[in-house]
Structure 1
Amino acid sequence: MSDATSGGPYTLVMLPPRAPATEEWAERLERELPGLRVLRPLLPQDVARALREADAAYGALPEDLLPHAVRLRWLQVPQAGPPPGFYYPALIEHPVRVTNMRDTYTDHVATHTLALVLALARGLPRYMRDQQAVRWEPDWDPDSVVPLAESRALVVGVGAVGAEVGRLLDAFGTEVEGIDPRRTGEVTGFTRIHPADRLDARLPLADFVVLTVPHTPHTEGLVNAARLARMKPTACLVNIGRGPTVRLDALVRALDAGQLRGAALDVFETEPLPADHPLWRRPDVLITPHVAGAGPHAEERRFAVLRENARRFMAGEPLIHVVDKAEWH
């Protein structure tokens, strides 16, 4: 089945709010894809009017504007995993096909993940606080570090990012296992991939549990009090996937009880993380503010996905990075 009807021209709406880097995209798309008209409305009434003409759209489509999207057949999400609430019931039921930006930041996110693992392995969160306090307190206890070459990592979610994280950890001599509901067969750097129902059985064996899973109805609250209790008291938790997969109250209680060695988090249930949250003050926790995807060429890569999907849409070819709307990913 084609993603667009034959003929044209086609109309794509750039929905507000728009990042400054995307302002030139409209001209580039129209120049590189003859037959495509790109609208950039700002006022609500103009957005509604543009949507009534639109075959496609880029951005977030609020529920109150969805009834105006009478012709809409393709919606490009600006992120790999949009914020909670993006996939509301009416959008899921709507016939529009949705694509996302998955795999766009794989190298950046995997490198950031490895930095978090290395920081925890070498006790850097504590030394960073010592530096701020101008305190010289070296810890020569052999148990103060985790030797990666003698450790086992469990990567939960072996998509593009998870697979790259496993490959990088394997280079340090770490034994890497994966958990994934879909992926089977051999993956470079992994000793084995387990199905999702094996998570509870593998958690007690891991020195590092690395979460790269998207936020879906099945992964929300995936790491709760019961699963944290299954982990080794010497294990570390790293989350660079999506914040709602980890219950932060349960994580704080587990750390307080000595159930974990430490944690490194780039994503959180509530963002920004509230200033009074106890995780900010813990010496065994490393926090980065949802920046794992930061790095060069990000905007050009996102434009490349949008352009390729626009080309495919106009040609009636299958789109890339199609989302299962019911699964939010």
Structure 2
Amino acid sequence: MKLVLLPGTADWADRLMADVPGLTVLTPTPEALRTADAAYGVLPAELLAATTRLRWLQAQQAGPPPGFYYPELVAHPLIVTNMRATYTDHVAEHTLALILSLTRGLPRYLQDQARAEWNPDWDPASVVPLSEATALVIGVGAVGAEIGRLLSAFGTTVIGVDARRAEAPGFSAVHPAETLNTQLAAADLVILTVPHTPDTEGMVDARFLKQCRRSAFFVNVGRGPTVRLDDLDAALAAGELRGAALDVYEIEPLPADHPLWHRPNVVLTPHVAGAGPHADERRYAVLVENCRRFVAGQDLINVVDKTQWF
């Protein structure tokens, strides 16, 4: 079996061939693409057109970058697999940090710290106790499920909405995706973890946000194109949300002149929720396992529904 390591991927050629008997790893030359059975990385349309035997593409990420899926790739008979669940713990812990910063009022204290100002706020209403809150997790995949499990340890009532999953540890209920609009009004925390797909692009817009409680916090650690940033900013400006925290953005980097940078009730991190130790080794573990399975003619793990991009 011949695997092409596409540009921008780790140099794992020697290691893979040592770990997977029967595997030959190629650099992405025109001849290699013509004879390759599999590829790892991002495969643009012009490279896909140069292949003749390709049957499997392993993505480098759980949610590949915009443009990874395109009509020719979706129509092609090759199987796509991804890196889901390789940094679940990192993203879930980052999400809890964002949530706690909002519910404990840390944004204002960080602003005070930058000005060396001492302004304690003892108003009980300035804090949202997680033990009395209801969290709605939209997308109960590996990351969403772990966020819900961690929140439940604080005594938070956790409900979920997911197109594929019916239950998860720590959740009081997981509802079908079509019930989302009826669940929003119950949530003090609205946490978005869904992948970017044709169905989720722009799902959080002005209409969505008007269905949330005015006292709710909104958090997005899924994919940036799912949230219309201008609509989110307008909702915050109008007092339709209590605050928000984002790690991913409709446009990345977030433009320096975007008003979200300066909202006092917003926490922004630059798409780093997945940062943490062991990421490369975890990705390698998925790749080598799928290489072994592919050589042996076995079913692959982390197979993607290409029409849905996840």
> Are 1:292 and 2:279 an aligned pair?
no
| Alignment: residue pair count | 310
- CA drift of 1:285 comes to 0.5
> Are 1:79 and 2:61 an aligned pair?
yes
- CA drift of 1:229 comes to 0.7
Quote the Cα distance in structure 2 between the aligned partners of 1:70 and 1:135.
Answer: 66
Quote the Cα distance in structure 1 between the aligned partners of 2:151 and 2:191.
Answer: 11
Task: Give deviations 1:129-171, integer Å, cap 9, x for gaps.
Answer: 2111222211111111101111100000111111111111010
- CA drift of 1:17 comes to 2.1
Q: Secondary structure at the match of 2:46?
A: coil
> Are 1:63 and 2:54 an aligned pair?
no
Task: Give the match for residue 219 of structure 1.
Answer: 200
User: Of 285, 292, 298, which aligns to 1:311?
Assistant: 292
Quote the Cα distance in structure 1 between the aligned partners of 2:142 and 2:21.
Answer: 33
Percent identity of paired positions between Structure 1 and Structure 2? 66
Task: Give the match for residue 11 of structure 1.
Answer: 2
Could you list the structure 1 runs, at least 4 aligned residues long, displaced by more than 2 angstroms after superposition: none
- CA drift of 1:40 comes to 2.3
Quote the Cα distance in structure 1 between the aligned partners of 2:248 and 2:132.
Answer: 28
> Are 1:269 and 2:250 an aligned pair?
yes
Task: Give the match for residue 35 of structure 1.
Answer: 22
- The one-letter amino acid of 2:210's match is A
Quote the Cα distance in structure 2 between the aligned partners of 1:189 and 1:138.
Answer: 34
Quote the Cα distance in structure 2 between the aligned partners of 1:194 and 1:222.
Answer: 17
Task: Give deviations 1:56-77, integer Å, cap 9, x for gaps.
Answer: 0000001111111111000000
- CA drift of 1:225 comes to 0.3
5+ unaligned residues in a row in structure 1: which ranges?
Answer: 1-9
- The one-letter amino acid of 2:7's match is P
Quote the Cα distance in structure 2 between the aligned partners of 1:189 and 1:39.
Answer: 45
Q: Secondary structure at the match of 2:33?
A: helix
Quote the Cα distance in structure 2 between the aligned partners of 1:302 and 1:17.
Answer: 14
- The one-letter amino acid of 2:105's match is G
- CA drift of 1:249 comes to 0.5
Task: Give the match for residue 146 of structure 2.
Answer: 164
Task: Give the match for residue 109 of structure 2.
Answer: 127
- CA drift of 1:49 comes to 2.5
Task: Give the match for residue 170 of structure 2.
Answer: 189
Q: CA RMSD in A?
A: 0.9
- CA drift of 1:197 comes to 1.1
- The one-letter amino acid of 2:83's match is M
Task: Give deviations 1:223-246, integer Å, cap 9, x for gaps.
Answer: 110110111111000000001111
User: Of 87, 94, 103, which aligns to 2:85?
Assistant: 103
5+ unaligned residues in a row in structure 2: which ranges?
Answer: none
Task: Give deviations 1:16-66, integer Å, cap 9, x for gaps.
Answer: 023xxx22x11110111122111124xxxx2x3221011000000011111
- The one-letter amino acid of 1:123's match is G
> Are 1:247 and 2:239 an aligned pair?
no
For 1:127-166, list aligned pairs within 5 A: 127-166=109-148
